Every structure is written in C-alpha cells, then in structure tokens.
Copies of this chain bind each other. A is one copy, B any other.
Amino acid sequence: MTSLDQSELVRLLLAFQQGQLDLQQTLQQLTAPATAHTPDAAVDLDRRQRCGYPEVVYSPGKTPAAIVEIFRALQAHQQDCLATRVSPEQATILLAAYPQAQHNSVARTVRMEAGLPTETRGKVVIVTAGTSDRPIAEEALETVRWMHCDVELIVDVGVAGPHRLPAQLPRLKSADAIIVVAGMEGALPSIVGGYVSCPVIGVPTSQGYGASFGGVSALLGMLNSCASNVTVVNIDSGFKAGYVAGLIARRAASAQ
C-alpha cells in the first residue's frame, strides 16, 4: 500500500474532494509504490526520503547489465549510487558505462555521486586489527564517503601489542562513531570501547583459521563484549557498519 503519512493523506483527499484529482489519480497515489522497474529489479526510489539514503546495490548474482540499469534509474532521480561486492568483471562494465564512477578494488565497491551539492559532516573512525581485515574496512570507508561524512582509517592495532592502541587515542576521541574491524578472537572492539564515549560498531571478519569458524568466534566475542557501547553487524559486513556509523555521525554533526 502507500507510504504516505497523515499530512500527505489529508492533502491528497482534499485535492480529490475538490476535483483537482479524479478517482483514478487518487487511487494511483494511494496504491502506487515509488518503485522503478528495471528489466531485472524493482528499485526502491522512495528509500532516500524514507530512510535518509538511497537503495544500495548488492552485486553478487546480478548481471553487469542489471547493475548498469539500476544505476541509471537512481541517477535519473538524482540519487547517489553505491554498488558493493562488485566483481572485477562487473566493475569493468560499470566503469565503461559510467566513466565518472569511482572503483575501489580492495573494497570491491563502485560509487557514483549524483552531483548535488552536499556538505560533508560528522566523522567516523575505522580501526582494523590486522592487515587481512583491510578489504572489509575499505568497504566501510567507501560507504561512509558515499554518505558524505569524514572518515579516517587506523590499521594494524591488534591487542597483542598493547601500546599501539593508546597512541591512537586522540584520533579515536575525535570520532562521532567508531567502526572496529577484527577477526580471530574479536577482542578489539571491547578494548576500544573502554576508552571512548561514542558508539562502537564491531565488524567480525572471516579471517583466521581453525576454530575461528569463518568469523563466528569473532562474532561471538563482539556480541559478548563487556564494553557497554559495542553493537555488532554481520560477519564481513563492512557496508552495514559504514552505513550505521554514517547515520550516527550525520545526526551528531547537525549539532555542531
């Protein structure tokens, strides 16, 4: 059904009563979803208004042509584009269609701005435990950039070297939200959380071997964190961590 709110409904009904809209038009507005139908997908154009940011393309299982079409639909409505988990083949075709798009091959993302003037506000800091967590951290980084927030990346401050993290405290304390990307035992978000007053989003990664179980150990470690300010997203979900951190940062930034 429609996603119109109370005030929009009042306006619509009065327009209908006063003859500005006929029955057919009113029905359409009451029932038509704000969706662009490409040959392969139903693009949620209303997402930006409803949720603050446009729909993002999760690329696995989609043909390159399908992603090109979704970008076209979003672009036609002046919405910023972001595709995640883009394969090299998908990226090549996407960049051929949109030379202005930006491809981050480590992050496996393609990002394309709508070109509307947007002020960058709020700050997110991303922390990684080891070098192998880099791709997930980069995915978060690209997502935060797409949301027009400031972002900094601090790498290789795992808990085995206890003096490395305190050296970064000033940068950590400057953040509105912190993302911690870690595999193995996933202890780093707890440590970071004990030093700061902003929310910390833990991203367990599938790095490790043996009883790391593809990230399950890190996930459980973060869920059981004794630091009160830590929430968790899915294993390897750099995108979702970036998205939520961006939401927090923009809200906080409106205050300064």
Contacts and interface: CB of A to CB of B under 8 A. Distances in A.
Nearest to A247: B199
Q: Which 8 A-B pairs have the closest CB atoms?
A: A255-B255, A210-B235, A61-B132, A187-B187, A52-B197, A217-B220, A251-B252, A44-B161
Nearest to A212: B224
Given A42-B156, A163-B3, A237-B210, A223 B232 contact: yes
Nearest to A219: B211
A31 to B, nearest CB: 7
Contacts of A173: 5
Interface stretch (A9-17, A92-100, A110-118): A9-17
A184 B225 contact: yes
Given A184-B225, A212-B234, A254-B255, 18 more contacts: A1-B167, A3-B162, A9-B30, A13-B23, A32-B167, A33-B164, A47-B161, A61-B207, A130-B226, A185-B186, A185-B190, A185-B220, A211-B235, A212-B224, A217-B217, A229-B243, A230-B244, A254-B256
A201 B41 CA distance: 23
A197 B9 contact: no
A64 interface: no
A218 to B, nearest CB: 7
Contacts of A156: 41-42
A7 to B, nearest CB: 10
Question: By CB atoms of chain B within 10 A, which of A227, A232, A234 has the most?
Answer: A234
A19 to B, nearest CB: 9
Contacts of A169: 5
A236 interface: yes
A63 to B, nearest CB: 9
Nearest to A169: B5
B231 A224 contact: no
Interface in A1-53: 1-6, 9-10, 13-14, 16-17, 23, 26-27, 30-35, 40-42, 44, 46-47, 50-53
A87 interface: no
Contacts of A9: 27, 30-31
Contacts of A231: 201, 231-233, 240-241, 244
A251 B240 contact: no
A206 B215 contact: no
Nearest to A135: B61
Contact of A159 (B2, B166, B226, B255): B226
Contacts of A56: 228
